Structure 1
Amino acid sequence: MSQHKVNPKLKAALEFGPILGFFVAYLWLKSETFTIGGTEYDGFIVVTAGFIPIFLLAMGILWRLSGYLSRMQAVTAVLIVVFGGLSVWFNDPSFFKMKPTIIYLLFGGALGIGLMRGESWLQYVMDGMMPLTHEGWMILTRRMALFSLGLAVLNEIIWRNMSEETWVYFKTFGLTAAIFVFFLMQSKLFRDHGRKPEDGDDA
């Protein structure tokens, strides 16, 4: 399927809408307990069960409209189904809370493997977004690998030691803010190692 351009606002709504929906639903139902099939489920589990199909539907619409899903989006969808499903099946929120840890460990580990091969796998997925020299990509990839591993550790610390509500706030806003700040702090790298499209790949 060929790729198509999607309205940026619609794309953002499909990518972030389910996450914000999870946050709002959690705040609404966090103190509730639901008895389903003779088993009691707290609000977090019920919201997680609803989040899975909504997220998959949003990704399906995005894929249908654009003809493309990134590898990270595909992996995230699989992990949401697996870990979200385990949380619902075992009535244990721990599995879903571990999902960001696994995602960032996989991402950071994959970038690390690429670096050991002398390659920037980050460039493979982001080259069209920010043209950099090879050296620039290698520096950014090293930083992103360490940053991803740091986020994995931070997620573990927060969900294991803080309240569930604190983790939900962290998952919804903290991780996004951290990534935004990370790229904001790379402005000098983008300035020093940026290249114009006409410079070519070997600039």
Structure 2
Amino acid sequence: MTCIAAIATGGVVHMMGDSAGVAGLDLSLRKDNKVFRAGNVVMGFTSSFRMGQLLQYNLSVPKHHPDVDLFTYMVTEFIPAVRNCLKSGGYARIDNNEERGGCFLVGIEGRLFQIESDFQVGESHYAFDAVGCGAPYALGALSILIEDKSRTPENMLSRALLQAERFSAGVRRPFHYEKTNPFQVEVSS
């Protein structure tokens, strides 16, 4: 199920997700969005609506201190907060002595990260990323669309999700869009 796609450009992370809920061959269209804002962070999830609800309503995003590298912060502060949130919400599970969560995208401070089910943090070389069963189609579309400077990020994401919907049975409209506030580096005087 799912296609969540995002673009990081100009200090803003733009993210869009579909509305499909899939269980086996059953499909439902959900009103609860898979893409949401939590303070200055935008997130979009796949894997489980319960996980997404915990991230949206229970996660206390720790403050990032400017003297800590953002990737280091994601690994050492953000992920422990996510793990605690999922554990306390009864979602995190242990498989073969390994704690597992789910897959989601995080836009923060103008950068885009992918969190995998083993809680690893990834940051793509490209200014875009996608997760879910529709991700390969969205990534292919975005790799072409990103070169067209006349398109807005929201338009590119919409076109990419339309392609994912065309080729994946687990992706359906309506699509929901969020973006972060523009990130501006604080200059100390």
Q: Structures share a fold, TM > 0.5?
A: no
TM-score if structure 1 supplies the norm length?
0.27
TM-score if structure 2 supplies the norm length?
0.29
Quick one: higher RCO (CA 8 Å, sep 6+), 1 or 2? 2
Q: Comparing both structures, which one devotes a greater share of its residues to helix?
A: 1
Q: Comparing both structures, which one devotes a greater share of its residues to strand?
A: 2
